[in-house]
Amino acid sequence: MAGAGIHPFHQQWPPAAAASVPPAVPPPPPVPGVPDAAARPGSDEVRTIFITGLPVDVKERELHNLLRWLPGFEASQINFKGDQPMGFALFSYAHHANAAKAALQDLVFDAETKSALHIEMAKKNLFIKRGADANAMDQSKRLRTGGDYTHSPYAPPFHPPPPAVAVWGNAGYLAAPPPYNPYAAYPVPPVPMASPSPLPGPTAYAPVQNTKDNPPCNTLFIGNLGETVVEEELRGLFSVQPGFKQMKVLRQDRNTVCFIEFDDVSAASAVHHTLQGAVIPSSGRGGMRIQYPLLLSFFCFMS
């Protein structure tokens, strides 16, 4: 018997379960160092730098390769219609443009012409033409872009915080990479380097009468040499002396003389004092006599 108020054929269904709501997906974490989408640059924010001081034969590729490593770089352009080429560079944000301005200021762009860059903030932003008509642009205003994220829902690539060592003089902007070492992964045992054996010096010294001498100069006259003296032996003795410049041996009928030029008077005076009376084994005449020559005779022999 059905209860009061309930039809005998009324089916009692269990209450329907509430529709499951998927958990809310949290937004992606912000990229460090990149402003939010609401903080993206507006149309009034100038983020373009104006570059002068470029050489007259500058190429678009040269300026682009200089700028493409700077944080936030998007595009560059050179205008060749004036007397001097003028460059423009567009960056993602104004602080990127100001950092590039500080880094490139007075940078020597060409070592041969000594041309230095002068950077100012442009009066308006560089316009990037896109779409099917991009190929119809004037070739004198062709852009070189480093990637456009202006109309993309994604943030531009993350640029890490600047290191402490700078390339262009501004500390903390852009650091030079460490030098490449192709053998860093291979253990190389140290190779002992044998020190070169010292050249043989004079075997002995003999007293030499040298009562007359000329005023000191950077050239020495070597006398009392025998006819059999070996030039290589003389050169081996004098070429290792500090300040040695050149040597010339003159062989006469019964006498052999030598002129030796040094860098300065002090170097010649030191050899004049230390090697006076040194015995050359191949000479056969005892100690050699070292004097300062008359400059006139020296130039006649050396010419």
- Residue 145 CB-density burial (10 A; 0-12 exposed, 13-18 middle, 19+ buried): middle
Determine the Cα–Cα distance for residues 56 and 75; give it in Å rounded to an integer: 21
Residue with tokens 């104006």, as numbered in its chain: 50
- Are 47 and 92 in contact, with CB atoms under 8 Å apart? yes
In this structure, is residue 173 part of a structural domain?
no
Tokens for 229?
A: 């003296």
Token reading at 17: 């379960």
Burial class of residue 161, CB neighbours in 10 A (0-12, 13-18, 19+): exposed
Assign residue 105 the CATH number of its domain: 3.30.70.330
Residue among 227, 210, 218 nearest 259 (CA): 218
In a domain, 38, yes or no: no
Q: What pLDDT score does 3 carry?
A: 52
Extended strands (E) in 240-281: 244-251, 256-262
Helices (H), the chain: 60-67, 94-104, 231-238, 265-274, 295-302
8 A C-beta contact, residue 224 and residue 287? yes
Contact indicator for 233, 241 with CB cutoff of 8 Å: no
Instruction: Say how many CA atoms lie within 13 Å of 198 toward its Cβ.
Output: 4
Tokens of 239: 């070429």
How many whole angstroms separate alpha carbon 79 and alpha carbon 87? 6
Asked if residue 120 is part of any domain, the answer here is yes
- Tell me whether residue 103 is in a domain: yes
pLDDT at 189: 73
What is the per-residue pLDDT across 57-112, written as a single tens digit (0 to 9) for each?
Answer: 899 999 999 898 889 999 999 988 878 899 999 999 999 999 999 999 998 888 88
Query: What does the pLDDT read at residue 165?
Result: 45
Show the low-confidence residues of the chain (pLDDT under 50): 1-2, 31, 33-34, 36-38, 132-141, 147-157, 164-167, 169, 171-172, 199
266: in domain = yes
Structural domain range at position 254: 219-302
Asked if the structure places residue 150 within a domain, the reply is no
For residue 12, give both structure tokens: 């009692």
Give the pLDDT confidence score for residue 164 in this predicted structure.
46
What pLDDT is attached to residue 50? 93
Give residue 74's pLDDT.
92
Asked if residue 183 belongs to a domain, the reply is no
pLDDT at 8: 56
CA dihedral sign, ordered 74, 78, 79, 85: positive
**CA-CA-CA-CA dihedral for 89, 90, 96, 102, to nearest 10:** 20
Residue in the block written with tokens 């650091």: 175
| Spatial separation of the C-alpha atoms in residues 77 and 89, rounded to whole Å | 7
In a domain, residue 25? The reply is: no
Q: What's residue 138's pLDDT?
A: 44
Contact criterion met (CB below 8 Å) for 76 and 148: no
pLDDT, position 245: 92
Q: Are 271 and 262 in contact (CB under 8 A)?
A: yes
Contact 100, 70 (CB under 8 A): yes
Q: Which of 145, 175, 208 is the last residue of a domain?
A: 145
How many whole angstroms separate alpha carbon 184 and alpha carbon 193?
Answer: 21
**Tally of domains in the chain:** 2
